[in-house]
Amino acid sequence: MASTSIKGKTNNPVPNPKTPTNFFMGVVKVTTGTFLGLTLLTTSAIAGGLVGLAVSFRNLPDVRVLKNYVPSQTSYIYDVKGRLLTTYHGEEHRTTVDFQDISPNLKMAVLAIEDSNFYDHKGINPTSIGRAILVNIQSGGVVEGASTLTMQLVKNVFLSHQRTFSRKLAEAVLAVRVEQVFEKNNILEMYLNNIYWGHNNYGAETAAQSYFNKSARELNLAEAAMMAGIIQAPEVYSPFANYDIAKQRQALVLGRMVDLGWITSEKAETAKKTPLYLGKPQAWQSSKLPYVTDSVRKELIERFGQEMITKGGLHVQTTIDYDLQVKAEEIVQKSHRNLVSWGVKADQIALVAIDPRTHFVKAVVGGVDYKESQFNRVLQSRRQPGSAFKPFVYYTAFATGKYTPSSSVPNYSKGYRDGSGYYRPQNYGGSFGGGNVSIIQALSQSLNIPAVVLGQEIGLDKVIEVCRTLGIESPLSPVVSLPLGPMGVTPMEMAKSYATFANNGWQSDTTMIVQVTDSDGNILLDNTPKPKLVLNEWATASLSATLTQVIQGGTARSADIGRPAAGKTGTTSGERDVWFVGYVPQLATAVWIGNDDFNRSLGSGVTGGGYAAPIWRQFMVTALQNEPVKYFPAASQFTRPKSDNKKNEKND
């Protein structure tokens, strides 16, 4: 859809209405003789007089600003395939279009009912002025206008709508000025893009889309005549308000066009009988994907400001796939119903999916029901990740070069002292462990003690540094229990971190917006991925190989999707939060289950592997049904980091 501001000269001027053929696809009735000469003479005289009066109106605006005037326009939000999700605007719901992108039928119909002498006068119509003066003198006030189309334009753009003699005089002066600066086609284009057409629709394009589900360029004669008939009292004459009255107005416009000789009576009768397929008011549509569009709106406001969003006519392509988003919401809602039926005390589920190759967000479900709660838990809720945090520890260990997946680590500890006192880690179920285990065993079985011991060995500051590199901004402290995920992070932070693992250490900025353009098509924001390597490739490949064992024979066998996949369960103490975060090379997804009341337990025995992993599996199977099977790169393809400490290499 074209969406351009109204500037300069048009490239497709309307034929002179005095030419006896080809005026807006109709025939113009030619006025000749003395009357035409007198009309033009009178127009010139009045115009000259008004120019003289303009000296008294030194405070009137400079009409030349119209050359660069861009009216308030609606912003449109689309999914990644160009499907409209919602619109943002203030009072004026508008999309401007070029003169050639407006149907000749609509131009002709509007001129017929609003200003049939538009191409003859110089901004004012002396015949109409004389008639209006008589009526207003008789009534003792301004009850009838003599506005030409040009006068209506300057009233809408520059002046108030109060009926006073001074305002009407200013309107006339400005109209003459406009006619001196702009060509007729420019004026008509500005008029059609500015006027109000009812139901918060401003301009021909938005009105056509609302009333007839088509662009302004596609309007036929029947539709154009009905739209032209609406202008004088949009909320009264709208077919949405009263279809019978709208049809009467349509007939009036068509009759006027016949009287002017612009169409034949046969064409008018055919237009009256043409079926009309009405749309519906679009100005205040609710969003089709509110969790998505709320998040996009927030980011747009942060970048461009509120006014630019509601008036700037932005076109925003998001990264979201509409079909996948709808499926994700359905899966979350169905899963929640199942959890309730199974006795799990879970109020909420959140899910977010990211393409690791681009770091584009493909789906984001911030809760079970947006209507009940607009709080987006994917972006706004920091929850303890539990053991889903452990991969950050193990990646850091691999990146030192001291450890491989088969390295042996202690599964026992006497405990540690930190700022909060004495802390001795336990494995799930209360065991204090015993002996040594391989990293593969420790991670696949989600053993707590080896993760804590390893965190102390490699340094928790290094783990936090890795987390920051991966995009986790939530507060983290180097307490002994950090490897067990006791500090809150958002599902989005978890998903984008794992997405970098999925892309073997390559990272782009995570975003929900592909591109933003203004109403002229100029690019304001381009989020084309710019991947950079932020992790060690050997260490990342080693981590992915280890995390595949979590699904193949560890705590997340219920996440098996029949293709290579890696991931990690998370279950916090007291079963307050359960997670599964996992990935394939094409998609990384985080699933969280919990309650908005942080202290409320989901129930005894509720784990990430038992409840979050199956939701992840269902979503991934749906999302990947048209994606080929891909494998993670083997660590052997990359060089292992050099280590200055060989003590663990003997256990490889």
Catalytic residue numbers read: 114, 387
Tell me the chain's radius of gyration from C-alpha atoms. 34
Tokens in use for 462? 């290094």
CB 388 within 8 A of CB 408: no
Residue carrying structure tokens 């605006």: 61
Angle among Cα 259, 261, 263 to the nearest 5 degrees reads 100
d(CA 147, CA 125): 8
One-letter amino acid of 83? R
Terminal CA-CA length for the chain? 62
Instruction: Mention every residue, 6+ apart, whose C-beta is less than 8 A from residue 650.
Output: none
Angle among Cα 321, 84, 617 to the nearest 5 degrees reads 20
Helices then strands (H, E): number in the chain? Answer: 22, 18
**Can you spell out the DSSP letters for 271-284?**
HHHS--------TT
Closest CA to 168 of 40, 50, 39: 50
Instruction: Mention every residue, 6+ apart, whose C-beta is less than 8 A from residue 403.
Output: 394, 397, 409, 439, 454, 648
Closest CA to 562 of 584, 530, 587: 584
Closest CA to 484 of 590, 601, 573, 362: 573
One-letter amino acid of 354? I
Instruction: Mention every residue, 6+ apart, whose C-beta is less than 8 A from residue 32.
Output: none
